[in-house]
Amino acid sequence: MRITKLRKQILVSLALIALSILAVPAVKAQCGASARKGTALAPELKSLQEPAAQNEEDLSDRAGSPEARTEEKNDSIVSILGFWKIVAYSGGVLNDVGFEQFSAGGTELVNDVGAFNAGNNFCMGAWKQVGPRSYDIVHPFFLFDGTNAIGVSIEKAHIVVSRDGKRFKGTWTQDNYDLSGNLTPGTHFDGTITGTRIAPGSEYPFPLPL
């Protein structure tokens, strides 16, 4: 009798575990889109504003000066390739935080969380070099209404890597389209983006999100 009762208890426990797994909602991969469609910031981040711009001459696109000609050879060995912590702002307010991988084949992969309130998202894009330390990026991702894909958002960025290869800075834009390619009114966004390189042997670039 005890063995039979124990078996019943085990079966009931297993059934409850199975039901709890099935009840977990599916994760929606939309690459922080909810944060960029106006979702409120997490309360502790509402007052967080974009850091004041610093005088970082090595992040500029300057050309033609004697210094620029002297540094041209060094610029040719600086690359976007590798792994970065990224932080994006729109209207001076935190918009997105994540990690970005640039690969040699001209593709990039992003894992982001919006303003720490958009879940764990993964999406891909493409990049090309357009000048010394200067790169253009296109980054599409799906938009969802619940579990239904209702459109595509196309994010574009222009970034410049610092001369030491450890940081980048740039601008980004985002426009949303329905599945037929029609621009959705009122869904244009733009802002600034910064990156800090993450590499083995180097200290992790805390704090987050700065």
Taking 90 as the threshold, does the pLDDT of residue 197 lie above it? Answer: yes
What is the distance in angstroms between the CA of the first residue and the CA of the last residue of the chain? 63
Give the pLDDT confidence score for residue 25 in this predicted structure. 35
As beta bridge partners, residue 82 has 102
Spell out the residues 6+ positions from residue 101 whose beta carbon is closer than 8 angstroms to its own. Answer: 82, 83, 84, 108, 109, 110
pTM of the full structure: 0.71
Taking 80 as the threshold, does the pLDDT of residue 51 lie above it? Answer: no
Taking 70 as the threshold, does the pLDDT of residue 2 lie above it? Answer: no
Cis status, amide bond into 25, omega within 30 of 0: no
Taking 60 as the threshold, does the pLDDT of residue 53 lie above it? Answer: no
Taking 50 as the threshold, does the pLDDT of residue 148 lie above it? Answer: yes
| Mean predicted confidence (pLDDT) in 128-147 | 95
pLDDT band at 76 (very low <50, low <70, confident <90, very high): confident
Find, among 16, 84, 64, 51, the residue nearest to 192 by Cα.
51
pLDDT band at 3 (very low <50, low <70, confident <90, very high): very low
| Mean predicted confidence (pLDDT) in 74-89 | 91
As beta bridge partners, residue 100 has 84, 110
Taking 90 as the threshold, does the pLDDT of residue 152 lie above it? Answer: yes
Instruction: Tell me the pLDDT of the chain averaged across its residues.
Output: 78
